[in-house]
């Protein structure tokens, strides 16, 4: 394995009937990566994930996990990955502990691993409760415990934030960040909502109609996020002698595209020039705009 690459997906494609569902998709995951796999409904996220896990046959391309070719060395490849597709498979009438015990038996692991992994996902105090008493967020974390019990290098989660409340989403993000940084796992998380993923992934891939249309690194994401539009409600708009770049919206509102740091100086300048500011609104971030534009352009093809 070179450069800590743990998952390599090379030009895979999948055809069902006459439809190409996954079109020449290539992805790389390194240890410690958290990759956001974004796309609108029907883009092919779940299908791509199923292909990477050997749950469906691909018509072309290749997949390597932990350095092993999925087709040539299936058992070794698959032992390096843990996944949840859509929802975790759990026995509701059993406790979390009993659910995990089944996994230790399957993998031939010692029972000590159950409490270790329960602690890792923050379920140690509730592990003996029945799963039917768990919240959705707790079930999701138990699912992750199942998926990582055999210490895989790669964790793949298909829409894990679906249905979680903001608190549950926050807890899940903290857990995934911990798994990436402390356990050195590579994590792929899919979602159709970009804002759910942008502040904790180090890379974002956007999939539209089975094709990857954007693959952005964290620096590029930050760059795109740095410039924001601010709408200011002011008492006058004859500001050309005070400000260089701004757009007039109406007689009481102007729009400024700038960074957070520069905004502070702009506001000082305005106040020093006796401009009253009644309200400052931040527009939807530009990465979401990029995503919407890209998906809309491609959908209209």
Looking at the Cβ atoms of 19 and 245, the one nearer to ligand ATP is: 19
Q: Which residue in 23, 47, 146, 285 binds ligand ATP (CB under 6 A)? A: 47
> Residue 242 is encoded by which pair of tokens?
């005070």
Give the interface segment with Mg ion, choosing from 45-53, 176-184, 237-245, 271-279 (CB under 5 A): 45-53
Out of ligand ATP, Mg ion, none, what residue 163 binds, judged by CB under 5 to 8 A for its kind, is none
Which is nearer to Mg ion, 31 or 162 (by Cβ)?
162
Which phi and psi (to 5°) does residue 29 adopt?
-125, 130
Q: Residue 3 and residue 34: Cα distance in Å, rounded?
A: 16
Binds ligand ATP by CB under 6 A, chosen from 28, 38, 43, 131 = 43
252 and 245 in contact (C-beta within 8 Å)? no
Nearer to ligand ATP, 56 or 62 (CB): 56
Per-residue DSSP letter, 257: E
**Per rule CB under 5 A, is residue 46 in the interface with Mg ion?**
yes
82: CB partners within 8 A, 6+ apart:
146, 147, 148, 149, 150, 152, 154, 155, 156
Query: Rounded CA gap, 5 and 28, in Å?
Result: 7
Q: Which of 23, 46, 80, 285 binds ligand ATP (CB under 6 A)?
A: 46
The CB-of-189 to ligand ATP minimum distance in angstroms stands at: 13
211 binds ligand ATP (CB under 6 A): no
Choose, by CB under 6 A, the member of 45, 113, 139, 173 that binds ligand ATP: 45
When asked if residue 21 is in the footprint of ligand ATP (CB under 6 A), the reply is yes
Q: Which is nearer to ligand ATP, 95 or 190 (CB)?
A: 190
Size of the site for ligand ATP (CB under 6 A): 11
Residue 42's binding partner out of Mg ion, ligand ATP, none, with CB under 5 to 8 Å set by partner kind:
ligand ATP
Only segment of 25-33, 46-54, 148-156, 221-229 that touches Mg ion (CB under 5 A): 46-54
DSSP 187-242: EEEEES-HHHHTTT-SEEEEEETTEEEEEEEHHHHHHHHHSEEEEEEES----TTT
Task: Report if residue 192 touches ligand ATP, rule: CB under 6 A.
Answer: yes
Distance in angstroms (rounded) separating the CA atoms of residues 85 and 89: 9
Partner that binds at residue 125, options ligand ATP, Mg ion, none, CB closer than 5 to 8 Å by kind: none
In the complex with Mg ion, the residue whose CB is nearer, 21 or 254, is 21
DSSP 8-state secondary structure symbol assigned to residue 59: S
Beta sheet of 60-65, edge-to-edge order: 19-30, 5-16, 60-65, 68-69
Q: How far is the CB of 49 from Mg ion (least distance, A)?
A: 8
Query: In this chain, which stretch among 41-49, 113-121, 145-153, 198-206 interacts with ligand ATP, using CB under 6 A?
Result: 41-49
285 part of the interface to ligand ATP, by CB under 6 A: no
Tally of residues, the chain = 301
Nearest approach, Cβ of 138 to ligand ATP (angstroms)? 23
CB < 8 Å & 24+ apart, contacts of 232-241 = 232/256, 232/270, 232/277, 232/279, 232/280, 232/281, 233/277, 233/278, 233/279, 233/280, 233/281, 234/270, 234/275, 234/276, 234/277, 234/278, 235/275, 235/276, 235/278, 236/275, 239/270, 239/275
Binding residues for ligand ATP (CB under 6 A): 16, 21, 39, 41-47, 192
Point out which residues bind Mg ion (CB under 5 A). Answer: 45-46
């Amino acid at each position: 394995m070179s450069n800590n690459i743990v998952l390599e997906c090379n030009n895979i494609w999948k055809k069902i009937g006459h439809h190409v569902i996954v079109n020449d998709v290539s992805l790389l995951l390194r240890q410690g990566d958290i990759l956001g796999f974004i796309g609108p409904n029907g883009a092919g996220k779940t299908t791509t994930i199923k292909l990477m896990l050997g749950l469906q046959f691909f018509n072309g391309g290749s997949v390597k996990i932990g350095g092993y070719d999925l087709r040539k060395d299936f058992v070794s490849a698959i032992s390096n990955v843990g996944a949840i597709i859509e929802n975790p498979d759990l026995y509701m009438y059993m406790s979390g502990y009993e659910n995990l015990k089944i996994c230790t038996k399957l993998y031939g692991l010692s029972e000590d691993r159950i409490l270790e992994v329960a602690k890792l996902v923050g379920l140690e105090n509730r592990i003996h409760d029945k799963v039917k008493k768990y919240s959705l967020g707790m079930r999701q974390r138990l699912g992750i415990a199942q998926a990582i019990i055999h210490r895989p290098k790669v964790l793949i989660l298909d829409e894990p934030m679906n249905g979680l409340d903001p608190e549950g989403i926050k807890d899940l993000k903290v857990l995934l960040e911990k798994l990436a940084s402390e356990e050195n796992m590579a994590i792929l998380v899919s979602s159709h909502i970009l804002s759910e993923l942008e502040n904790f992934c180090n890379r974002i891939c956007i999939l539209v109609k089975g094709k990857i249309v954007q693959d952005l690194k964290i620096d590029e994401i930050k760059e795109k996020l740095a410039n924001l539009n601010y709408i200011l409600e002011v008492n006058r708009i004859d500001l050309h002698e005070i400000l260089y770049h701004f757009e007039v919206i109406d007689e009481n509102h102007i729009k400024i595209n700038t960074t957070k740091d520069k905004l502070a100086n702009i506001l000082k300048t305005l106040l020093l020039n006796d401009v009253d500011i009644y309200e400052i609104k931040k527009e939807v971030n530009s990465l979401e705009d990029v995503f919407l534009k890209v998906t809309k352009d491609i959908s209209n093809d």
